[in-house]
Structure 1
Amino acid sequence: MSKKIGWIGLGRMGEAMVTKLLKAGHTVHVWNRTAAKAVHLAEYGAVIEKAKIDLASCEVVFTMVSTTDDLKEVLFGPGGLVTGSKKPQVVVDSSSISQEGSVEIREQLESLGVAYLCSPVSGNAKVAKAGKLLQVASGPKELYDMVEPYLQAMARKVMWVGEGELARIWKIAHNTMFGVIIQNLCEITVLAEKAGIPRHIFLESINDSVLGSMYTKYKTPMLTNLTFDQVTFTPKLLLKDMDLGMNAAKAHGVPMPAAAATRESIARMVGHGLDHIDFAVLLLETAKDAGIELTPDNVPMSDGLS
């Protein structure tokens, strides 16, 4: 039997994921800080709640917010989800937060009798809408088994990686690689273009090589036509994730020179005020450093998702 489901956080990712749940036939009670972002979900059957504490009557509540502090605020802050007499059975968090912050949240929730599962994802909102997310979870295995049907409704594949906060380490490692790949992809694309290979041809060839991936394919239209206003993820959020990666590397004694260099490159972008458009604008910064000015190729390119 389907449980009563709640959802907090309707940014680009949260909105795409909860829409998948709704389209799979689940009734979901939703709350978002900016209420207007939730209204259209009523068309798919969502129940719009005025306050996050109203979701406490749900058995399972999913959260998808930006930072550790944001998650603590929606859970434990004034009017927070678990601050009333009634509390959900389970909180499933899909945010990208630190391992240490996740431990604190788990301890506080469990002290209140609320179970907690970490369940970050691989993919952006476009990937989510295409039904191609990977969802990775950690925490008690019996808890994962209970919520797995809801995870399956949002992803092409779901995986349990172990107890505790291991999914946080997975996500931190994943997003660190995410940053390093875009750094290198921008560098080699500028190299190829400056040497004379048209940008769209080079990117198509990389996508069709052994190095191509879902990631390189879905960034190709943007890198080809310089449509960085079509935001999937901002430099500021990527910098936050690179910092999580470097902090984890320090904590575990793992040298990561490529990630360290990438972190500085992303920090420079944010310092230049480029924190409101897509992180792939790194291509333009790399081109400037190489002494060239890029223009859109104006060539239709597949993102591999549709």
Structure 2
Amino acid sequence: MAIAAQDRPRIGWIGVGRMGFQLAARLLDAGYDVAVYNRARAKAEPLAERGATIVDRPVHLADRDVVFTMVTASAALEAVTTGPGGVLTSSDAAPGVLIDCSTVSTQGSALIRDEAAKRGTDFLAATVSGNPKVITAGKLTVAVSGPSEVFGQVEPLLALLGRGVTYVGEGEVARLVKIAHNVFLGVVTQSLAEITILAEKGGVSRAAFLQFLNDSVMGSVFTRYKSPALVNLDFKPTFTMPLLRKDFDLGLSAARELEVPMPLAAATAQLVAAAIGAGHVEEDFASLILEQARNSGITPEAENVPLDDGLSPQT
């Protein structure tokens, strides 16, 4: 289905958690007409102050040109699209394009793609890499799969969400890209925790070790970004351990299906599960360093060193 008012489509947004809220706000700040649904309406209300229309059911967004969804899992995506009152259930209208930014299984994504096609709605999987602070800094990246011509229509809209939008192919392959990304995220963080605790037990402060690492060729945007949490033991959540475990489950399932051995990922998945078992459920996944320290026989303390995380907002 072609998008009406292609240059300035009317947008619907479903799901305004930590990520969805910030992304919907970027579209509002860019001057788009955005209507929003969230299961807990109170979380969406602050967007009304920025010009959003708040609706009570996803189906009330069925007449929008483009509808974004950003929910927690495959079951939630199914509920807001094809479940009672879902955006694809209206007898009178259907969105021109449905763009899902959730991290869900390829099977769940394919199911919604099929259901959207029955209503004449094009479907794109648009998985994202980042967190609210990354969004604020303008550094979110997006991987998109689906019909290439539909991607071409909405690429300018997607470009407003961050600094990079990559078309990765047809069908559900963007799901695999995001899952692979998040598996790498977990493996890198566990490795970073291990070497940092090794240095600390040998007498080097975490701040000094990570400053050296970040200034070396092994440093990265990510290691610099996570350094304040690892040094000062500030685990305000950007991405929790249970969400990381879900992505490891998806990644290892894909690996079994595709016959790809992933021994490092499998070992890290067990360490993530152990951290959850130890009670690290609400904290940021950087708290992997606490379990690494415990297993190493030390009790780390916050070093209270101010560090630049490299994510100052773009001006």
Letter of the structure 1 residue corresponding to residue 65 of structure 2: E
Aligned 1:276-287 pairs, distance under 5 A: 276-287=282-293
Distance 1:22 1:201 in 2: 42
Aligned 1:34-183 pairs, distance under 5 A: 34-85=40-91, 86-183=93-190
Letter of the structure 1 residue corresponding to residue 287 of structure 2: V
Secondary structure of 1:57's partner?
A: coil
Distance 2:41 2:212 in 1: 44
Secondary structure of 1:118's partner?
A: strand
Secondary structure of 1:120's partner?
A: strand
Q: Is residue 32 of structure 2 the alignment partner of residue 2 of structure 1?
A: no
Letter of the structure 1 residue corresponding to residue 270 of structure 2: E
- How big is the shift at 1:269? 1.4
Alignment match, 1:234: 240
- How big is the shift at 1:110? 0.9
Alignment match, 2:4: none
- How big is the shift at 1:273? 2.5
Equivalent residue in structure 2 for 1:290, among 285, 296, 306:
296
- How big is the shift at 1:172? 1.0
Q: Is residue 219 of structure 2 the alignment partner of residue 205 of structure 1?
A: no
Alignment match, 1:185: 192
Letter of the structure 2 residue corresponding to residue 83 of structure 1: T
- How big is the shift at 1:43? 2.1
Alignment match, 2:25: 19
Contact 1:17 1:129 in 2 (8 A): no
Q: Structure 1: any 5+ residue segments left out of the alignment?
A: none
Letter of the structure 2 residue corresponding to residue 220 of structure 1: S
Q: Is residue 279 of structure 2 the alignment partner of residue 273 of structure 1?
A: yes
Distance 1:268 1:105 in 2: 34
Letter of the structure 2 residue corresponding to residue 12 of structure 1: R
Secondary structure of 2:99's partner?
A: strand
Cα offsets for 1:55-92 (capped at 9, x unmatched): 11111000111111110111111111111112111110
Equivalent residue in structure 2 for 1:221, among 206, 228, 242:
228
Distance 1:205 1:105 in 2: 47
Cα offsets for 1:80-112 (capped at 9, x unmatched): 111111211111001111112211111121122
Q: Structure 2: any 5+ residue segments left out of the alignment?
A: 1-6
RMSD between superposed Cα atoms in Å: 1.0
- How big is the shift at 1:155? 1.0
Cα offsets for 1:268-294 (capped at 9, x unmatched): 112223211111111101000000001
- How big is the shift at 1:45? 1.4
Secondary structure of 1:45's partner?
A: coil
Contact 1:190 1:283 in 2 (8 A): yes
Number of residue pairs matched? 305
Distance 2:218 2:21 in 1: 31
- How big is the shift at 1:34? 1.0
Contact 1:30 1:48 in 2 (8 A): yes
Aligned 1:240-259 pairs, distance under 5 A: 240-259=246-265
Letter of the structure 2 residue corresponding to residue 172 of structure 1: I
**Once superposed, which parts of structure 1, at least 4 consecutive aligned residues long, lie more than 3 Å away?**
none
Letter of the structure 1 residue corresponding to residue 310 of structure 2: G
TM-score by length of 1: 0.98
- How big is the shift at 1:197? 0.9
